[in-house]
Amino acid sequence: MKIGIIGTGPMGRTLGARWAGAGHAVLFGSRDPARSRAAAAQAGTSAQAGTSDDAAVFGEVVLYTVRGVFPSQLLRDPRSLADKVVIDCNNTDFDMERAEPTPAPVPSLSEQLALDAPGARVVQAFTTLPAAVLALSRDQLAPRRISVFLCGDDAAAKRTVAQLAEDLGLVGIDSGPLRRAALVANLADFIRFQIVGMGRGFLTTLSLDTVPEPR
């Protein structure tokens, strides 16, 4: 699959490198050419570098990691995201010293992204997972059956993102329509509270499971 990565922060670099290592074609896009070249070099294999516009055009799937800057502000032509699966992995700010979240926006970041990029098949995903977890190998992650919560209005798009999660050794969990994104955002805040407030560290995760009914 061709995956464009918009933004070269920890999430973009980590997920892009993991997907490149899993055999996908990846292009890192940034407003700073040096950052996209560094991310591609770090990913190795056949990863490419370019601008944010290049990543939007290149990807069948586009990972959007630029929090608070929406496509109409970033891309020359936001319509380049139309009909594409666009993964929003962004969270709101979190006060790491006080271990408290900032007020959540209404509508959620994912819903705002969808409004700003009409026609994009937006899926909120990976918001509850620190980059340190995502950097682990598939062999380390798969036995833990770590959940990736997926919110979106396009069932096929959610299946695509679930498969990309499974390529990394994670488990995609359908969490309803995009209007449920704020609910998952609260869960991300809870995880960050556990990481910082309870001192569990950046390898803290959630695995949703169902106990079988007794026979």
pLDDT in tens, 37-62: 999 999 987 899 999 999 999 999 99
- Structural domain includes residue 211: no
Average pLDDT over residues 12-31: 97
- Among left, alpha and beta (phi > 0; psi -120 to 50; other), residue 61 is beta
- Structural domain includes residue 112: yes
Query: For residue 24, with 0-12 CB atoms within 10 Å meaning exposed, 13-18 middle and 19 or more buried, which class applies?
Result: buried
- Structural domain includes residue 206: no
Residue 95 pairs in a beta bridge with: 100
DSSP string, 102-117: PPPPSS-HHHHHHHHS
pLDDT at position 42 is 94
- Structural domain includes residue 147: yes
Residue 95: pLDDT band by 50, 70, 90 thresholds? confident
**What domain range includes position 95?**
2-197
- Structural domain includes residue 213: no
Residue 49 pairs in a beta bridge with: 28
pLDDT at position 98 is 75
Mean of the per-residue pLDDT values of the chain: 95
Residue 99 has pLDDT above 80, yes or no: no
* Angstrom distance (rounded) from CA 11 to CA 135: 9
∠ Cα 207 204 173 (to 5°): 25
pLDDT at position 136 is 98
The end-to-end CA distance of the chain, in Å, is 43
CATH classification of the domain holding 115: 3.40.50.720
- Contact between residue 51 and residue 76 where contact means Cβ atoms under 8 Å apart: no
- Contact between residue 43 and residue 28 where contact means Cβ atoms under 8 Å apart: yes
Residue 117 has pLDDT above 80, yes or no: yes
E strands along 17-138, which residues? 25-29, 48-50, 61-64, 85-88, 94-95, 100-101, 121-124
- Structural domain includes residue 53: yes
Residue 121 has pLDDT above 90, yes or no: yes
- Structural domain includes residue 215: no
The per-residue pLDDT for range 130-178, each reduced to its tens digit, is 999 999 999 999 999 999 999 999 999 999 999 999 999 999 999 999 9
- Structural domain includes residue 205: no
Provide the domain count of the chain: 1
